[in-house]
Structure 1
Amino acid sequence: MVSSFFTKIPSLSAIFSIYTSLSAFTIVFRTILHEILPAKIRHFIVSKFTDYFSSYFNPNFTFIIEEQSDYVTNQTFRAAQVYLPTLLTRISTGSLLVSSSNLKDPMAKPKFGIPVKAKITDDFEGIPLEWTLLSDRDNNPHQKYQKRWESAIFQHHTTFETLAMEPELKNTLIRDLDAFSSGKDFYKSVGRAWKRGYLLYGPPGTGKSSLVAAIANHMNFNIYDLQIQSVKHDEMLRQILTMTENRSILLMEDLDCSGADARDEDKEDDENQDMKKKKDPKVTLSGLLNFVDGLWSSCVEERIIIFTTNHKEKLDPALLRPGRMDVHILMDYCTPVVFKKLAALYLETEDHNLFEPLEKMFLEVKATPAEITEQLMASKNPDVALKGLIEFLERKKMTKESVDFDIKEAEA
């Protein structure tokens, strides 16, 4: 249906060609009138011809190219974005957009672009053209340009080298990412979209955000952090997601409390569901899944989707199946191995006489890596920091034993 729609619409080149042909015909017609008819008769016919058609034809015609068309990126707009920067010397407004996003290299070459409201002169087979870039922020009834949803400038320093994580799990994840990165031909041969979904789940403070940073740095991908709470309905979600680019990560954190329906809607009758949606439109799980599986998958390449949640059990099973969330990673409480990695990072020590009693305590007390990190940062002196950590874990153990005792008393 989409392909037939585009085959029925003439291309921009065809429109200009027709316009050129009409212009040539007009020139030939005027030449014939000049050679055959007397001047007075010729002027009379031309004036009548001009008066008659001037009310129907305007010598100036405007093509409006919007960035989005039915929530899908307008490829003509993309083509104009590629073509117009080659005409920067023809900007008639005397201004040029200069930018740089490379914070790591201050000597990097700046990027040149077209400012909003700038005018560029051009021609097509002798027909003069003028390009103008407009923004939807302008009070103009014709919106020719819409601001884009940009990826965040990513400067997080966490890498897999510095990430405190169980070595076996870390190596398995790295192998999976590398296989995905080199799997373009495989995904094409099996007819699947070149994307990979990861679900990071576990208690708060277990390093889910740090793992996302390590993945982004390992893959050299940009991150699109989707705050689902600010998305009012499925149509807006569709519009936002179509603006993302290839080789990027779509991140949705805390999915269980994001505002989207974590489980499918109750099985009410269709009429009640329709009334509920009209009264309180919002992003639905089905809307998210349908778009990720459908249109978005067919329009993108080499994408990673990462969902994080503190409560995996609250998520609908439809969200967790392979093809949507291919890899499930449990981000758990601190283990002896993770503790040693943290101690090496923050205290610059790989061995200490307090390591053995601390390792035993980690088998009895649940503490998150974030809690351990906070204690290790209290002092640069390993003796002071580790003693403080032992006291912290002992307090947690006593609190837990007190709570467990109260529960047993209540049950008795």
Structure 2
Amino acid sequence: MASTLFTQKIPSASTIFSFYTSLSAFTILFRTILNELIPTKVRDFIVSRFKDHFSSYFNPNFTFIIEEQCDYVTNQTFRAAETYLPTLLAGITTGSLLVRSSNLKNPLAKPKFGIPVKAKILDVFEGIPLEWTLLSEKSEGLYQSRQKRYFHLTCKKEFRDKIMSEYFTYIAKSSAKILTSQDNLKIHTYNPSDYSWESAIFQHNTTFETLAMEPEVKNSLMRDLDAFSNGKDFFKTVGRAWKRGYLLHGPPGTGKSSLVAAIANYMNYSIYDLQLQSVKDDAMLRQILTKTENGSILLIEDLDCSGADASCRKKSEDEGEDGENQCKKKKKKDHQVTLSGLLNFVDGLWSSCVEERIIVFTTNHKEKLDPALLRPGRMDVHILMDYCTPNVFKKLAKMYLDGIEEHDDLFEPIEKMFREVKATPAEVIERLMVSKDPDVALKGLMEFLESKKMVKESEESEPKEADE
């Protein structure tokens, strides 16, 4: 009886075929209506929403996307991950690994290992399995195309909130600890073709201990740097950006670059060396400088050759035209970075984008700079890197010549000569390195200074002869 009822409920083959035919006709009709009446973009949107809904419903995983760039600045979470993940290379699941070695001092030093694109790295946080993947794609920027990098961090959905609240904080603290313990400073240069900063290990050995400089100037600078380093609360209290500006000016060969190296080594700051000539306009300048890191030195050398001179202002005053407008016209023709754009990063609103920054400008001709750059608050400290003095000479002689104390008889005439003629520390060093024998080196320096004195006396006598 039961089997009879069961067989009666089973539809016949013709009924099933009829239902299938009706369903197929309805599907074809629906697809035709969808294709004919609904625009392609709207149709794709509907389909994608359906896919997203069902995939998210059935997919047990959740993925965080961490892009390298965040607005104008580097995404600090990306930077923290990039620093932290190389410590987990034992958990890499792909068959490749980046191997890098940039220690020019020691070619046998242990290489550093990095994360290649599409590599998967496994991590465990409080028992939660995590998977990191580095990805990259080409992106069209404002000035040129560049590679856009980003991380995918995948976990189970039920752990999403814990990862958001605790794990990202954990990797931020871990990366900060790693960066603090790193021995090597870096020097960065901007690559306009790749729209990014490129770096190398900074290996300059100059320190304040080895720097040949007037003692009172050196000590004053060191006190100023110490006050800046410890002044975070002070700058916050007075409502100023935590930055300090230095102008190093003087003739070529007087040690401006060496002083920058000494500051970097003293403060343990990396250097961002920016060539303004490679920057297209003010907007690009903002994007470049906001990509620098906290606790760093921004170096702009030969400022008088970078469109910051006062020549156009003087010319416009002679012609009766407003100096600032004339300078803007000149910049548009010759160089797109304007003075106002540069000043915005010295003391304008954009100067607060990076904390604990030292800005160093160098120039051989301070008198050529636009007065707007020299106002208080823009370049806080002006340091004259002058010609060699007796004190500087003694410091150089002790560093470059062994047993120099036995040649005091030559010191007095050389020191007297430095009061009469001008010679740069670079010129003095060149003569001191001629021989390791102090007697030979000092005599050669004396002859060099005497020849300079003769040239000076000859030049001074020429106007008198012309007047006669």
Equivalent of 2:424 in 357, 365, 368: 368
CA contact (8 A) 1:200 1:330 kept: yes
Cα distance, 1:177 vs. partner? Answer: 0.8
Cα distance, 1:410 vs. partner? Answer: 3.7
Cα distance, 1:47 vs. partner? Answer: 6.1
Aligned equivalent of 1:406: 462
- Give the residue type in structure 2 aligned to 1:57: V
Asked whether 1:57 is paired with 2:47, we answer yes
Q: Residue by residue, what CA displacement relative to the aligned partner does 1:264-288 show, whole Å, maximum 9, x if unpaired?
A: 7644599988876665552222111
The verdict on how the C-alpha distance between 1:147 and 1:388 changes in structure 2, with shifts beyond 3 A counting, is same
Gaps of 5+ in 1: 1-37, 123-127
- Give the residue type in structure 1 aligned to 2:399: L
The verdict on how the C-alpha distance between 1:268 and 1:49 changes in structure 2, with shifts beyond 3 A counting, is farther
The DSSP-based 3-state class of the residue aligned with 1:385 is: helix
Aligned equivalent of 2:215: 167
CA contact (8 A) 1:87 1:120 kept: no
Aligned equivalent of 2:179: none
| Bigger strand share | 2
Which moves more between the two structures, 99-108 or 352-361?
A: 99-108
Aligned equivalent of 2:276: 228
Matches for 1:49-198 after TM superposition, within 5 Å: 55=44, 56-58=46-48, 59=51, 67-68=68-69, 71-73=72-74, 81=82, 94-99=95-100, 101=102, 112-116=113-117, 118=118, 120=120, 132-134=135-137, 144-145=148-149, 148-198=196-246
Q: Residue by residue, what CA displacement relative to the aligned partner does 1:156-208 show, whole Å, maximum 9, x if unpaired?
A: 11111111111111111111111111111111111111111111111111111
Distance in 2 of aligned mates of 1:270 and 1:165: 37
Cα distance, 1:98 vs. partner? Answer: 3.8
The DSSP-based 3-state class of the residue aligned with 2:148 is: coil
Q: Residue by residue, what CA displacement relative to the aligned partner does 1:347-386 show, whole Å, maximum 9, x if unpaired?
A: 1224521101111111111111111111111111111111
Aligned equivalent of 1:262: 309
The verdict on how the C-alpha distance between 1:300 and 1:410 changes in structure 2, with shifts beyond 3 A counting, is same
Cα distance, 1:95 vs. partner? Answer: 2.5
Q: Residue by residue, what CA displacement relative to the aligned partner does 1:68-98 show, whole Å, maximum 9, x if unpaired?
A: 4664445676577578779878877533334
Gaps of 5+ in 2: 1-15, 35-41, 56-62, 123-130, 150-193
- Give the residue type in structure 2 aligned to 1:181: S
The verdict on how the C-alpha distance between 1:202 and 1:93 changes in structure 2, with shifts beyond 3 A counting, is same
- Give the residue type in structure 1 aligned to 2:116: P
- Give the residue type in structure 2 aligned to 1:154: F
Amino-acid identity (%): 68
Distance in 1 of aligned mates of 2:146 and 2:419: 65
Cα distance, 1:232 vs. partner? Answer: 2.5
CA contact (8 A) 2:96 2:119 kept: no
CA contact (8 A) 2:272 2:296 kept: yes
CA contact (8 A) 1:66 1:143 kept: no
Cα distance, 1:114 vs. partner? Answer: 3.1
The verdict on how the C-alpha distance between 1:76 and 1:341 changes in structure 2, with shifts beyond 3 A counting, is closer
Distance in 1 of aligned mates of 2:235 and 2:396: 38
Normalised TM-score (structure 1): 0.74
Aligned equivalent of 2:356: 302
Distance in 2 of aligned mates of 1:270 and 1:205: 33
Distance in 2 of aligned mates of 1:114 and 1:57: 36
